[in-house]
Amino acid sequence: MRLLEFSFSFCPGRRQDIDRAFVKSTKQVDYTNAFVHAPINEDVYVELPPMYSKPNKIWKLKKSLYGLRQSPLNFFMHLKTNLEARKWKASDIDPCLFFKNNIMCLIYVDDCLFFSTSKERIDKEIASLKEAKPDSFLIEEEDDVAGFLGILIIKKTDHVELTQTGLIQRVLEAMGLQDSSSKETPAEKGCLTKDLDGPPKSESWNYRSVVGMLMYLATNSRPDISFAVNQCARFSNDPRRIHEKALKRIGRYLKGTKDRGMIMKPDPELAMDMFADADFAGLFTKEEAHDPSSVRSRAGWIVTLGGVPVTWKSKLMQEIALSTMEAEYMALSLGMRELIGNRKLIKEIEENGGIKRNSVSKISKVYEDNHAALKHAVTALPKLMPRTKHIGVKYHWFKSKIKMGEIEMFPISTKLQKADIFTKGLTAKDFREKRELILGW
């Protein structure tokens, strides 16, 4: 999604190149009564409504029905079949992305975004979906993409900004924080613990519901709250009072930044880069000594295109790292999965989506602030060494990409490490500096 949103962006001083590189026309459509268009493959029977009921009679469905768990998949396969019949080709990387004659179509259930260098091409394809028999679709056409799935896309003079003010307002109302004071950071410095001996939860609002809304916010337009939300999500099964307070702190931080979002203003050099970081055993002195989760390290990474965030993550690693170097190296390997997958996707978009070939740099730079992990990644060390042979099979795989010249590794100071915001609670000063690097404010 965020890769295609670059169709709205341009770089100052390089307008002509960017215009040639990116699509100029967009349109959003919605399929009316989408699920009932799709045939159903299973035998499903339903009782007749009271006013139509007859003794010993039931109905057998010929089409999908809202409420059936297989209906979304049935509709997608029905839409995919019809798109492929019209010469559309599905992406090898993302099955919900389709290409045809320099047009891109992105599908999310029954919502579609069309991107192209030509408005006429989009209109022609939409007309084809409307008029073709017998599988015509009831389509509601909307204007250019100004919002999608609750994300408002604001086009300004020199940048695009993604905001979710409506969702933030819902979060504040859910927790009763409309009139509360604000906070400078979404999390306290340090880590959130289980606090099993602390007081139980006391709020009337639904903890899991609030976490779900915040997770959607954190994964779309507000990466600055990812670490804080991930911490709270860990305790959704049995939240305590301390966890409710942590959620309310996120809410108070959002109250003070409700109208802000992600500023998309790509650098003149369109390169897809990655920053990775780790917090080694950050819970070790905070949780119970016998708790195995206390020795798990937290990984954080962010992939950017032209300096603009594309994907990011904050998570506790499954394996237990035995040193800081090992934790950093494991986080680096996890981030490489995102980087390499996105590199393949952007290459596919360049080849099929009407975007200027080689508009994105062929070389990706990866920034790591741990020199031991960096050295281990770039040097031709044997895979099996006494200190790292236990992680060799799972985490050394990306070295081949470095040898092929697709990816270059660079050291970076912790002060400039963007991924640092995903691994730990920071002071207000450090948090603001990292937020500016990522979000632009």
pLDDT single digits (tens) 373-393: 988 888 755 555 555 666 666
Confidence at residue 377, expressed as pLDDT on a 0 to 100 scale:
85
Does the pLDDT of residue 209 top 90, yes or no? yes
Confidence at residue 19, expressed as pLDDT on a 0 to 100 scale:
43
With cut-offs at 50, 70 and 90, classify the pLDDT of residue 9.
Answer: very low
User: Regarding predicted confidence, which is higher, 50 or 220?
Assistant: 220
Does the pLDDT of residue 183 top 90, yes or no? yes
Does the pLDDT of residue 140 top 80, yes or no? yes
User: Regarding predicted confidence, which is higher, 14 or 287?
Assistant: 287
Q: Where are the domains of the chain?
A: 4-51+58-147, 161-256, 266-439
What does the pLDDT look like over 410-419, one tens digit per residue? 999 999 999 9
Confidence at residue 14, expressed as pLDDT on a 0 to 100 scale:
40
**What is the mean predicted confidence (pLDDT) over 166-180?**
95
Confidence at residue 368, expressed as pLDDT on a 0 to 100 scale:
94
User: Regarding predicted confidence, which is higher, 357 or 265?
Assistant: 265
User: Regarding predicted confidence, which is higher, 154 or 438?
Assistant: 438
Confidence at residue 22, expressed as pLDDT on a 0 to 100 scale:
53
**What is the mean predicted confidence (pLDDT) over 166-191?**
94
User: Regarding predicted confidence, which is higher, 21 or 89?
Assistant: 89
Does the pLDDT of residue 223 top 90, yes or no? yes
**What is the mean predicted confidence (pLDDT) over 162-191?**
94
Confidence at residue 134, expressed as pLDDT on a 0 to 100 scale:
67
Confidence at residue 18, expressed as pLDDT on a 0 to 100 scale:
41
Q: Which of 266, 269, 271 is nearest to 362 (CA)?
A: 271
Confidence at residue 222, expressed as pLDDT on a 0 to 100 scale:
96
Confidence at residue 56, expressed as pLDDT on a 0 to 100 scale:
84
Confidence at residue 354, expressed as pLDDT on a 0 to 100 scale:
66
What does the pLDDT look like over 93-115, one tens digit per residue? 999 999 998 889 999 988 889 98
Mean pLDDT score across all residues of the chain: 86
Confidence at residue 6, expressed as pLDDT on a 0 to 100 scale:
53
Does the pLDDT of residue 17 top 50, yes or no? no
CATH code at 266-439: 3.30.420
What does the pLDDT look like over 339-362, one tens digit per residue? 999 999 988 888 887 666 677 888
Confidence at residue 389, expressed as pLDDT on a 0 to 100 scale:
61
Does the pLDDT of residue 15 top 50, yes or no? no
**What is the mean predicted confidence (pLDDT) over 11-39?**
67
